[in-house]
Amino acid sequence: MVWLGFRNCFTNIHRNLLQVFQMALLMFLGIFMTTTFVRQISLFSPYSDYFDGNGFVLFDCGLDARNPENLYDKLEKTDDVNYIRYSGAESGGQSFIVYGFDKMALGYKPTLIKGKWLSEKRPYHSGRVNAVVSYTDKLDVGDDIEMEISGEKGGKFTVHICGMIANTALMLNPNGQENEGKGIRQYYSHDDYYFMDESMRTVSMIITDKAFADQFDGYFYSTRLYVRFKDDISTEELEENKNRLISEEYAVINSFDKVSSESRQYIFSKLVDVIPIALGSLILICISVAGVVLIDSKKRLTQYSVYYICGMKWYKCCIISMIQSFILAVTGFVLAVVAGGIMLRITGREKVMFEIGGSQILVCLLLLVYILVVSFLLPLHIIRKYTPVEIFKEKT
């Protein structure tokens, strides 16, 4: 039966090519929809539990670098203070902005063109600091470079580059402008990780918060902070903390409640813009695929009748149809992946909602199940209405 199904793929080439094209489009739309959903959700999902509590997003308006850890003593019922520390460094004449990412910041994984993302549990690699850098043609994954800390304190340390961020990737950043109504999205940026200078571009380097604390020894800057309070804090204590922060030259930008609600609204609005059109197209293509399978089944009735006369059961004829559809669907999937890869290479990741991951594979498998079920049931529904004699009479 497998051979017969395979052979069917090479008869009536035009009809089979149409099926391959339909299935490729079906798979592409399935991957597109899933990627759109996953990307939007992934901006907030690593932080959803964190922002569901009581807290503030702050901006440090002070002129001098200071340690945000002091806020534990200055505020009532402080549960957690999160921030991205950063400072300057150089290596071989190349300037770097070095960021120390804590567990919260490491929660979102940007697109890497090479290597792997940082792990909080592995800040070092054989005594060298693990680091991910922004896109540059001057460095490569696996390089070990000697870093010299900028400023009066100075100091040196060796870095092992374990990953490189794609030049179109979104990344959580410590600075940037606040955009009203975008929730968590306002804390991501492309541009802040590609600082420009008249003579050269500053390369951004990300290391773990622990490695940063070990190497920079308190010499750092941090402008945006996330302060979370304990669950039993009262409204009066929250207001008192807010006033105290303002007196300490911290601007209270947002409450966690506001960030959480705006994030969900922003994600929903983005999905509403895309999903209905894509879903409608997906349904139309599913119907179209079923139509082509139906036509193909009717065209092959004589062939199935011959198989039946030779002793093959009707349901085995349907399995041949299913094997044929499986081969065409897999071919369509490969074609969709190739087309998506070409589009990604031409336009960049952020402009094309296409990537292959666990969720996308699952959706494609569900679409494959739909194709196999249709390619089995429709032929079975048709051939059960006829006897081989009736089919031969109709054809003659």
Q: Mind listing the pLDDT tens digit for each residue in 106-120?
A: 888 887 888 999 988
- Spell out a b/e string for 271-292, using b for 16 or more CB atoms within 10 Å of the CB, else e: beeebeebeeebeebbeebbeb
Task: List, for residues 213-253, the tens digit of each pLDDT value.
Answer: 888 876 666 777 888 999 888 888 888 888 888 887 777 77
pLDDT for position 181: 59
Of 84, 101, 253, the closest CA to residue 175 belongs to: 84
pLDDT for position 176: 54
Whole-angstrom distance between the N-terminal and C-terminal Cα of the chain? 27
Query: Where does residue 112 rank: exposed (0-12), middle (13-18), buried (19+ CB within 10 A)?
Result: middle
Cα angle 101, 105, 109 (rounded to 5 degrees) comes to 105
pLDDT for position 1: 63
pLDDT for position 187: 76
220: number of CA atoms within 13 Å, CB side?
25
* Region of poorest pLDDT, from 24-28, 188-192, 271-275, 297-301: 188-192
User: How far, in whole angstroms, is CA 289 from its chain's centroid?
Assistant: 29
* Percentage, residues of the chain above pLDDT 90: 8
Task: Look at residue 11 and tell me whether its pLDDT is greater than 80.
Answer: no
Mean pLDDT throughout 250-271?
83
The whole-model pTM stands at: 0.69
Q: What mean pLDDT, rounded, does the chain reach?
A: 79
Handedness of CA 23, 24, 27, 30 (dihedral sign): negative
